[in-house]
Structures are given as C-alpha cells and as structure tokens.
Amino acid sequence: MSVRISDNTLEVFNPATGEELSSLTITSHSDLDSILIKSKEAAESYNYSSFFKRQQLMTQFSKGIVRNMDEFVEIVCSETGKKSVEGLMEVFISLEHITQSLNHHYEALGKKSRRVGILKTRKAWIEYEAMGVAGIISPWNFPLILTASPLVEAILAGNTVVLKPSEQTPLTTQLLKKVWDEATGETELFQPVYGAGDLGNAIVCSQNTDVICFTGSTAVGRKIAEVCAPIFKPVILELGGKDPMIVLEDADIDRSVEAAIWGGLSNAGQTCISVERIFVQEKIYSEMVNKLSDAIQQISSGTEDSSVGAISVDTTLEKIKNQIANAKISSEVIEGRRSDGWFIAPTLIVNPPFDAAILQEETFGPVMSIHPFKSILNAVELANMTGYGLSASVFGRNKRNIKYISRRINAGVISINDVLTHYGIADLPFGGIGLSGIGKVHGKEGLRAFSHQKGYISTRIQLKSEFWWYKKSKIFGRYLKKLIKWKYL
C-alpha cells in the first residue's frame, strides 16, 4: 500500500519498498471550515494586491524550492516510487513554470484597452480580477508539478488557495507549504488540508470557495461538475486521457520507436498524457511492431538500475494487471522484465480487439497497444474512438498529411514528431476536451482561468446630457437613420 487511513491519520508508505515514511493528521471538517474562513478573510485584501507584490512572493517561493531541491526529489520519489531523475524533472518543470508565469504575468492579466468604434468620446478597457478563494485538489502521479502549477497560477492571479493533495502523496505538499511559509511569510495565502475524498467534496461544496481546480479521474471530475453547475461555480477540470500516437508510413521509424518507449513508459505510464494507443500505417506496421517489441523486452521495471519505477497506488496496480490478463486471452502480449512488488513489466499488446478494456479505459501504467491502419481517415477515426481528448502525437514527414490529421483529432494539444514535451512548455495552454475535461492551465490562459474578466467604460468628455438620452431622443432618431445609411450602405 502507499497510504493507510486509520485513527484520523494518514500513514504514508513508499510503494517501491513498502517502507513507512511518515504520518499526518487528517484535517477535520470543522478545521477545514476555519481554514476556508481565514482564506476568505485573507482574500479580501490579497485579491486587490499589486502585480509587483505577487511577483515578489513567487520569486521568493521559487528560490525556496531551489534551496530545498534535494529534499523535494527525495520526498517525491519516496512517496510515489518513481526514479530520482523523474523527481528531479518535477522540480525543474515546476521552476520553469514559475519563471514563465512571471514572464507573461502582466501580458496575461494587465489592463488592456478596447476599441470604442464610433463612440469616440468614450474609452474602454478590460481588467482581470481575482475570483477570491481557489480550491485546488491535486493528484498523486506528479505530486509536485501538478500541485505547484495551479497553485502558482491561482496566487499570481490574486487568489488565496486552499489545497488538498491526494491522500496517497501528502508529503510533497507538506514540504511545499513549509517552503512557502519560510520563503514568503504569507502563511494564510496558501493553506493545505489533508484527507480523503470527503474533504475534497467539502471544498467543492463550500460557499467559501470561488473556483475549483481538480486534476484526476473523469469519474470524479464529472461529480465535481455536477455539484458546481447549479450555482455556476467556475471549474477547471484536467481529467483522464487515452492518448493516441499515429505513425505515418514516411515517419522516421527509429525515432518513433524511441518516442513510444519514452511516451508510454515514463513515470511507469502514470501520466495522463502518456502514449497508450499506437496506430501505425500498414506499410511499416510489421517493422514497427518488431522494433518496438525488441525494445520493450530490453527494459525492466523495479528498484535500483531499472528504468521504470513502481506503480504508486494499489487500485491502479490491480486495474493494470486485470487489463493485461484480459488482453492475453485474445492478443499477443510482449513484456519486458520486472522486480517483485509494486512493479508492472513494460508491456506491448499487439492488435487487441477494439472493445477491449485496454483500448476503452485509461490504463495509467507502462502498457501500450499497437494497431495497423490503412488511410489517414482511418487513423483519425481510430484516434477519436474513446471520447477522451487530452493530447495526441503524429509522426511523419508529409506536412499536408500531418496537418490534415492534427486538425481532425479531438485533443487539447497535438505533438508533431514528439511526445510529452509540450507539458514542459509553460507558455502553452494545457487542457483537454470531451472526457478529458474543461478549462486550461499553463500559459496566459492558465492565469486567466483563475480570474474574472471585467469590462470598463469611461467618458473622455463629460457633457450635461448625451445626444441619445430622453431630452434629445427625437432629434437623435432622425440623425441616427441618416448615420446608418451613410456608414453602412
């Protein structure tokens, strides 16, 4: 197990070794209410803070993360079972996200003039204002990146934050809070709470949260949307994926194989944007299967020098095992090596039936399927068959074919001759469509997702009365008719 809940306590374990790491007291619902009230009170002033103050806080926070880099890597890896280089990547991407968010902070949220058309005696502009208190619920698969990213955007947008990390990985957030407090001294702007789904539900339902950002399963995301819809509480839902990789016949096969290996096995496949379904044009299908099979069999999951780390959560482990077992009934299954324990061998499933769970449900493990396709129309149809729409990748050389496919795949992001890298580009908005959620994080769009857009208008010249007000309305009507004919005919 990675966590045990007992006696009002979260006991956290390393899924790779079974070692008990630490325990935390679960936040009670009464304590949550008090925290939300404090956050609401802090928001009354911080919502109207200057851009300079927000940037100063975030710069201090960033430096604090750097100073504690080794501790972050150790904790991230110990509570998820991932490899040290993967933990270090979490630190790097989080810091890069802060840096780029600071770079486009004013461009995204600064005051912007708007055209006034024929009303030359007016001036118009928009401003982005904080929503109030942001309730953030973050997942376990990337406990630093997927916690820090929405936290940074919400605070830079002027909100205070109450954040519940996954009960599977609370220790990274505990360290994040410690670093924030020490670096900034603004303890009430970011307040974490610890517990299971009932606590997350209380945050979503609370009248003291003004926007909800959730990263996790489609099933839970749907429930959050149902709760927020009647009161029109804004939601940002980054949900599951079943990402396709399309390999055209003119693609660089060796690069495609290496990309599939990285895209499908990185973080033991516990990535919402991991490559799960590979579709290869018939002409090169056999060669692709052979090369990918050879590569898979050379890779191992386990401790020490293995490339692939542990599965972090027991329920995910069982789901992956069941999908693989079902696939073996009707399909060829190529497997690499694994250690005993919470590890799944890197796996390739060759041409499973399209109604198989491995093709219809998110796997979230180091498992990929591969199928042939005839035409680019067939490739698009296969890519869009699940209802998910988070990201996708297309490999090939013919730009016209790549463009045709890319524009027709249902996805929030398309990678061309690449995989996963888009998440590290902090200026590029991230978020899916369909079963993969609504709303965006990252980029200017991510900052604006935590903001209200408000329009303003003001007079340049102040008269006693306007030409179209009641006292002059008859005269105005005659001139307006002439104006319409003169201007628009």
Give the pLDDT confidence score for residue 465 in this predicted structure: 86
Q: pLDDT tens-digit profile of 18-72?
A: 999 999 999 999 999 999 999 999 999 999 999 999 999 999 999 999 999 999 9
Question: CA angle, corner 51, sides to 47 and 52, nearest 5?
Answer: 125
- The answer to whether 239 and 221 have CB atoms below 8 angstroms apart is yes
- The answer to whether 367 and 264 have CB atoms below 8 angstroms apart is yes
- The answer to whether 429 and 97 have CB atoms below 8 angstroms apart is no
| Topology, domain 8-239+441-452 | Aldehyde Dehydrogenase; Chain A, domain 1 (3.40.605)
* N- to C-terminal Cα separation, the chain: 74
Average pLDDT of span 174-189: 98
Amino acid residing at 231: I
CATH 3.40.309.10 segments of the chain: 243-429
Q: pLDDT tens-digit profile of 282-303?
A: 999 999 999 999 999 999 999 8
> Catalytic site residue 238?
yes
pLDDT of residue 232 exceeding 70, the answer is yes
Could you list the beta-strand ranges (E) of 14-151: 20-25, 112-114, 122-130, 133-137
- The answer to whether 169 and 143 have CB atoms below 8 angstroms apart is yes
Q: pLDDT tens-digit profile of 320-372?
A: 999 999 999 999 999 999 999 999 999 999 999 999 999 999 999 999 999 99
Specify the CATH architecture of the domain 243-429.
3-Layer(aba) Sandwich (3.40)
Of these residues, 238, 276, 335, 362, which one is catalytic? Answer: 238
Alpha helices by DSSP H, 340-398? 357-360, 376-383
CATH 3.40.605.10 segments of the chain: 8-239+441-452
What pLDDT band is residue 1 in, cutting at 50, 70 and 90?
Answer: low
Give the pLDDT confidence score for residue 469 in this predicted structure: 87
Of these residues, 77, 213, 228, 272, which one is catalytic? Answer: 272
> Catalytic site residue 213?
no
pTM for the full predicted model:
0.96
- The answer to whether 119 and 457 have CB atoms below 8 angstroms apart is no
